[in-house]
Homo-oligomer: A and B are copies of this chain.
Amino acid sequence: MPDTIPADSVGIVTPNIAVFETPLALSSKQTLEQYELIYETYGKLNAKATNAILICHALSGDHHAAGYHSMDDKKPGWWDSAIGPGKPIDTSKFFVVCLNNLGGCCGSTGPTSLNPKTNKEWGADFPIVTVTDWVESQARLADYLHINTWAAVIGGSLGGMQVLEWSIRFPDRIKNAVIIASAPKLSTQNIAFNEVARQSISRDPDFHDGHYTANNTIPVNGLGLARMLGHITYLSDDSMGKKFGRKMRHDDYQYNYGIDFEVESYLRYQGEAFTKRFDANTYRLMTKALDYFDPASATNGDLSKALSSAQCDFLLVSFTTDWRFSPARSEEIVDALVRAGKHVSYAKIDSNKGHDAFLFPIPRYMSALNGFLNRAHNILIQESN
Residues of A within 8 A of B (CB): 27-30, 124, 127-128, 185-189, 191-193, 195-196, 198-200, 202-205, 221-222, 224-225, 228-229, 232, 235, 237, 240-241, 243-246, 253, 255-257, 260-261, 263-264, 267-268, 271, 284, 288, 291-292, 294, 323
- Asked whether A257 and B188 contact (CB < 8 A) given A195-B228, A195-B264, the answer is no
Question: What residue of chain B has the Cβ atom nearest to residue A128's Cβ?
Answer: B255
When distances are taken between beta carbons in the complex, the residues of chain B under 8 Å from A228 are: 192, 195-196, 199
- Please measure, in the bound complex, the distance between the C-alpha atom of A256 and the C-alpha atom of B29, giving whole angstroms: 12
When distances are taken between beta carbons in the complex, the residues of chain B under 8 Å from A294 are: 246
- Please measure, in the bound complex, the distance between the C-alpha atom of A263 and the C-alpha atom of B192, giving whole angstroms: 7
**Least CB distance, A169 to chain B, in whole angstroms:** 18
- Please measure, in the bound complex, the distance between the C-alpha atom of A205 and the C-alpha atom of B253, giving whole angstroms: 26
Question: What residue of chain B has the Cβ atom nearest to residue A188's Cβ?
Answer: B240
When distances are taken between beta carbons in the complex, the residues of chain B under 8 Å from A195 are: 228, 261, 263-264, 267-268
When distances are taken between beta carbons in the complex, the residues of chain B under 8 Å from A28 are: 253, 255
- Please measure, in the bound complex, the distance between the C-alpha atom of A264 and the C-alpha atom of B191, giving whole angstroms: 8
Q: In the complex the two chains form, is B292's CB within 8 Å of A253's CB?
A: yes
- Please measure, in the bound complex, the distance between the C-alpha atom of A264 and the C-alpha atom of B287, giving whole angstroms: 13
Q: In the complex the two chains form, is A124's CB within 8 Å of B203's CB?
A: no
- Asked whether A192 and B127 contact (CB < 8 A) given A203-B225, A228-B199, the answer is no
- Please measure, in the bound complex, the distance between the C-alpha atom of A42 and the C-alpha atom of B207, giving whole angstroms: 50
Q: In the complex the two chains form, is A128's CB within 8 Å of B199's CB?
A: no
Determine chain A's interface SS by DSSP, over half rule.
helix
- Please measure, in the bound complex, the distance between the C-alpha atom of A241 and the C-alpha atom of B332, giving whole angstroms: 15
Q: In the complex the two chains form, is B257's CB within 8 Å of A128's CB?
A: yes
What is the oligomeric copy number?
2
**Least CB distance, A275 to chain B, in whole angstroms:** 12
Q: In the complex the two chains form, is A185's CB within 8 Å of B225's CB?
A: no
Q: In the complex the two chains form, is A232's CB within 8 Å of B196's CB?
A: yes
Residue among A29, A224, A263 with most chain B CB within 10 A = A263
- Asked whether A232 and B199 contact (CB < 8 A) given A246-B185, A257-B284, the answer is no
> 19 pairs across A/B with beta carbons < 8 Å?
A27-B255, A30-B255, A128-B256, A187-B240, A188-B237, A191-B261, A191-B264, A192-B264, A195-B228, A195-B264, A195-B268, A198-B257, A199-B228, A202-B257, A203-B222, A203-B225, A246-B294, A257-B284, A260-B291
Residue from B241, B246, B256, B267 in contact with A196 in the complex, judged by beta carbons closer than 8 Å: B267
When distances are taken between beta carbons in the complex, the residues of chain B under 8 Å from A284 are: 257
Q: In the complex the two chains form, is B291's CB within 8 Å of A261's CB?
A: yes
Question: What residue of chain B has the Cβ atom nearest to residue A203's Cβ?
Answer: B221
- Please measure, in the bound complex, the distance between the C-alpha atom of A161 and the C-alpha atom of B225, giving whole angstroms: 28
When distances are taken between beta carbons in the complex, the residues of chain B under 8 Å from A260 are: 288, 291-292
Residue from B225, B241, B268, B271 in contact with A187 in the complex, judged by beta carbons closer than 8 Å: B241
Q: In the complex the two chains form, is B187's CB within 8 Å of A232's CB?
A: no
**Least CB distance, A350 to chain B, in whole angstroms:** 18
When distances are taken between beta carbons in the complex, the residues of chain B under 8 Å from A189 are: 232, 235, 237, 240-241
**Least CB distance, A99 to chain B, in whole angstroms:** 22
- Please measure, in the bound complex, the distance between the C-alpha atom of A271 and the C-alpha atom of B35, giving whole angstroms: 39
When distances are taken between beta carbons in the complex, the residues of chain B under 8 Å from A202 are: 257
Question: What residue of chain B has the Cβ atom nearest to residue A209's Cβ?
Answer: B257
In addition to A192-B263, A199-B268, A257-B284, 16 A-B residue pairs with Cβ atoms within 8 Å of each other are A27-B253, A27-B255, A128-B256, A185-B246, A186-B246, A188-B237, A191-B246, A191-B263, A192-B267, A196-B232, A198-B257, A203-B224, A225-B225, A260-B288, A260-B291, A323-B323
